[in-house]
Amino acid sequence: MIRMRKFFAALLVLVSVVLCSCAYADNMTFDNVTFNKDYKIKGYASVRLLGFKFVDMYAQWFDGKANGKVSVWGNNIVFNSKKFHDSHHDCEFILSGQESEFAWLKADVMNLQKVGVNFMKEISIKVIYDDEYEFTGWVRQFNYDYSKSEVYTKIKDAGVIGWPVCLSPADEMTISPMYKGHYAFGCTLPNHVVEDKESPLRMIINIGGNELTYNIR
């Protein structure tokens, strides 16, 4: 009899957990999301897209060197090959290569939960080309509190203008309740996919099981 009561008590706890999980897992889907509009996922997060472009490179701090040293001439980070190899630099440029480009979508994510959240661990990216080909993407994070975030990459030949240096994934940050995290949703795409202006191309952002679709074209 005692064993039976324990069994039913354990079953009740299990059912309660499942019901709570299902209630929280009422995931949302947003199609054809646009810029400068807040997409609110109740009790979880609010997402706002800020801008999109194709790029050949982006700047990133070395692991543990965020807000570190850079050589600056005017308002330009000095560019020398892929990486800064000497002690005067704490960042690098990540290059897309000759056969591809980066799709780069900037976004803010506000934490609506009551605890801190590392959204870097909860976001996944994919890009769908011509409703058939799928490319796996990635996420980078910014910290605008760093004074060196005001140092922008301005390299004329690469068309890289007005971007802060992003954090290394090793230095990803937890976002406190009601604060915004700043991100770039990226994906490496073949030149043909970028240059084909006729076929549909969309980026799908999955954040905590919730899905937002941005139509690149």
Q: How does pLDDT run across 139-168, given as a tens digit for each residue?
A: 999 887 764 444 444 444 444 445 677 888
pLDDT at 82 exceeding the cut of 50 = no
User: What is the predicted pLDDT for the residue at 197?
Assistant: 93
Complete DSSP assignment for 155-185: EGGGTEEEEPPBPPGGG--PBPTTPEEEEEE
pLDDT digits (tens, 9 = 90+) for 84-122: 433 446 767 788 889 999 999 999 999 999 999 999 999
- pLDDT on residue 215: 98
**What is the identity of the amino acid at 142?**
F
Closest CA to 162 of 68, 66, 55: 55
| Section 31-43 average pLDDT | 96
Answer whether 119's CB lies under 8 Å from 175's CB.
yes
